[in-house]
Structure 1
Amino acid sequence: AILSLDAKNAAIVTKHANLDVAVSECILGALSFNGQRCTALKLIFVQKEIAAEFTAKLSEAVSALKPGLPWEKDVKVTPLPEVNKPPYLKECIDDALAKGASVLNIQGGYTEESFVFPAVVYPVNSEMKLYHEEQFGPIIPVVPFEEIEEPIEYQVNASHGMQVSIFSEDPQEVSRLIDPFVNLVSRVNINCQAQRGPDVFPFTGRKDSAEGTLSVFDALRSFSIRSLVAAKLTESNKELLNTIVRDHDSNFLSTDYIF
């Protein structure tokens, strides 16, 4: 329950965003490790006024990614480790195409054995599998929206609640998004991808994403049962315990500052 961490993390790109930053961070968020991270960006909402420009930039950048094997230089997209993943991704793409979406980038969705080239799918809507299901693979579904309440409403109704990425240079707009989202997800990223670290930060989730708060420190505490040794405060007990500590007879009782 604590480490469940399923997610359908959304990015919200408003008309006030720096599109170059948004495209770069969305690609990192959606396609690092082929999108096979719980923290990956798995749904991108983009305001309609800039949707054409954003998707054009995004598609061009995705098409330029180098495919290959992990140990080859500058490779960004690699084969997938799951036998059933390519057919599932094709199923998701075919479902979107049948309901009005298109694959925008060159070679998007191309499959060869366990390799799938990333696909930018647009426009995605709530009738499609890609809107609701965690694809956990190299598909970037893009949802156009008019009013900022639309991506908020998505998160209200979503079954998972891990992170969100907000792309905007407007302070008032960012503020209006932060306030509802901090009660819907557990980390709000401003002008950057959703991500795991650093380890000093809590790693948290809401709804079906997780129960509890995780960082390295919190994880150790979550999976550890605290134990203690107790005795009444008498002279004989003090002498007994101090002798054990002094002579290093116990691994557990090993600090003398307590006494």
Structure 2
Amino acid sequence: MERYDLWIGGEWRKAKRYEPLYAPYGGRLLAEVAMADAEEAEVAIVSAHEAYQSFKHMPAYKRADILYRAAELLAERSEACVRLLVQEAAKPIRAARGEIARTIETYRFAAEAAKAVAGEQVPMDAAAGGAGRLGFTVKTPIGVVTAITPFNFPFNLVAHKVGPAIAAGNTIVLKPAEQTPLSALFLAELFREAGLPDGVLNIVPGYGAELSEILTTDPRVKGVTFTGSPEVGRIIHRQAGLRKVTLELGSNSALIVDEGADVASIVDRCVEGAFVYNGQVCISLQRIYAHRSLYGEFVERFVERAGKLQSGAPEEESTDITPLISRKAWERVTGWIDEAVREGAELRCGGAEPERNIALPTVLTGANPSSKVVAEEVFGPVVTIAPYDTLEEAVAAVNDSRYGLHAGIFTPRIDRAFCAAQHIDAGGVIVNDIPTFRTDQIPYGGRKDSGIGREGVRYAVEEQMEIKFISFKL
């Protein structure tokens, strides 16, 4: 059995405490992993701060070369990364391959972004007192960035923190999710091999409750980036104070299936959006509003297709549904389903395999809008479907949520597409596709309780830099 230490200052360091890590599928002991305390996390911050003093001067082309090389090394070792995802996250192997392919692309986007950082000329003579002066801006890195990442995309969401930090010229202290630390620790020696100077990337697994304060309040920390729940996000935002903060806090993403949509051609895509990786996706399709003229057909086809998804071992090519990340997650998801049924929802398909912590694809109709399966983020394989009569009614239902990350609409009419795009209150509106759609260069972030700031590599780089104004009197 392997033992993983902390990665600080370009070397493995022993920790005071180690804890066992078990596979979600089958419960096999995978490793013993160091769990940093606040004192050890501070050592990592000091290491990052010291490394920043020289790394901030590294030319952009060299930072880009490191990121390109890291992407190449990931591609060479992609199968090992896939197996790691299958083991520690119980991610179905086809979905795991997709994540690794995206991760490689994300680091390549970061390499390109490193070369594209630029300021602008300011028209000084636009003001009466500015004539005879030259003004321009430059963008500078902010310093040490701390990153706290979730379990569901332990390679690619880490890449969305680490890649932009390096591209901007910052150093980073990364705290991966307790359930999936091995994917992050895999990057340690990979980035060293890619040429990253010691101390630029530090990786400290540990518990958020123990580390969040030091990672957000240490005076050497200048930026914080977090992906997780709104409840934790609020704590981090409050602790971080005036530091730069990016928070991606999830959603209960909604989709409108408008009148005239071709149900037969879209239902497979909708099922994919609802149940990929067991619904453990920030923009998983959770709420569907189908026009009354096609509601019956849509529900019938959707339920039929959902019922064909196969549960099983994540390493099997035929597997669609695997265990939820933990027993606690399984109990919460299945409890919410039971509660919705007690409150009047009709269970059209679903079920559970408690011995394997599997929640089967669940479809509910007639759910009360105040039920947790509608109003909160399930983060499990659960979707609710409801009918509507007017587009205004559907948009209002989509917006009747404390979240606003992604939403979608299938419609054959461009006027109704633009109407929905204009009036839906979300960070992204996806027309003629599911809200689960995302590529890694787009601006990605939400409104309301879905967070603040934007990811998507170029946008994340901007979040991690400062603008400095410079003026010359001619």
Give the TM-score taking structure 1 as reference length: 0.80
Indicate yes or no: 2:446 matched with 1:205.
yes
For the aligned residue pairs, the C-alpha RMSD in angstroms reads 2.3
Q: Distance in 2 between matches of 1:5 and 1:149?
A: 27
Q: Distance in 2 between matches of 1:189 and 1:196?
A: 7
- Counterpart pick for 1:64 among 305, 308, 318: 308
Quote the offset at 1:26 in angstroms: 1.3
The AA in structure 1 aligned to 2:306 is: V
Deviates more, 1:30-39 or 1:80-89: 80-89
- Counterpart pick for 1:214 among 455, 460, 467: 455
The AA in structure 2 aligned to 1:16 is: G
Q: Secondary structure at the match of 1:75?
A: coil
Q: Counterpart in 1 of 2:290? A: 46
Listed one character per residue, the Cα deviations across residues 185-238 of structure 1 (whole Å, up to 9, x for unaligned) are 12111121224632221112111112112211222342356799x9x9xxxxxx
Q: Secondary structure at the match of 1:104?
A: strand
Q: Distance in 2 between matches of 1:190 and 1:109?
A: 32
The AA in structure 1 aligned to 2:416 is: E
Within 5 A, what are the aligned runs for 1:57-206? 57-105=301-349, 108-113=350-355, 114-181=357-424, 184-195=425-436, 197-206=438-447
The AA in structure 2 aligned to 1:75 is: T
Q: Secondary structure at the match of 1:219?
A: helix
Q: Distance in 1 between matches of 2:336 and 2:436?
A: 24
In structure 2, the CA distance between the partners of 1:131 and 1:65, relative to structure 1 (3 Å rule), is same
Moved over 3 A (4+): 223-228
- Counterpart pick for 1:31 among 275, 280, 295: 275
Tell me if the contact between 1:99 and 1:127 (Cα under 8 Å) persists in the aligned partners.
no
Which segments of 5 or more consecutive residues in structure 1 lack a partner in the other structure?
233-259
Deviates more, 1:208-217 or 1:150-159: 150-159
Tell me if the contact between 1:46 and 1:145 (Cα under 8 Å) persists in the aligned partners.
yes
Q: Which has the higher helix share?
A: 2
Q: Secondary structure at the match of 1:49?
A: helix
The AA in structure 2 aligned to 1:92 is: W
Q: Counterpart in 1 of 2:255? A: 11
Q: Counterpart in 2 of 1:243? A: none
Q: Distance in 1 between matches of 2:292 and 2:372?
A: 21
Quote the offset at 1:40 in angstroms: 1.0
Greater RCO (Cα-Cα under 8 Å, separation 6 or more) = 1
Q: Secondary structure at the match of 1:41?
A: coil
Q: Distance in 2 between matches of 1:13 and 1:22?
A: 9
Which segments of 5 or more consecutive residues in structure 2 lack a partner in the other structure?
1-244
Q: Counterpart in 1 of 2:173? A: none
Tell me the matched-pair count.
227
Q: Distance in 2 between matches of 1:157 and 1:225?
A: 36
Q: Distance in 2 between matches of 1:146 and 1:37?
A: 29
Q: Distance in 2 between matches of 1:185 and 1:77?
A: 28
Q: Which has the higher strand share?
A: 2
Tell me if the contact between 1:86 and 1:111 (Cα under 8 Å) persists in the aligned partners.
no
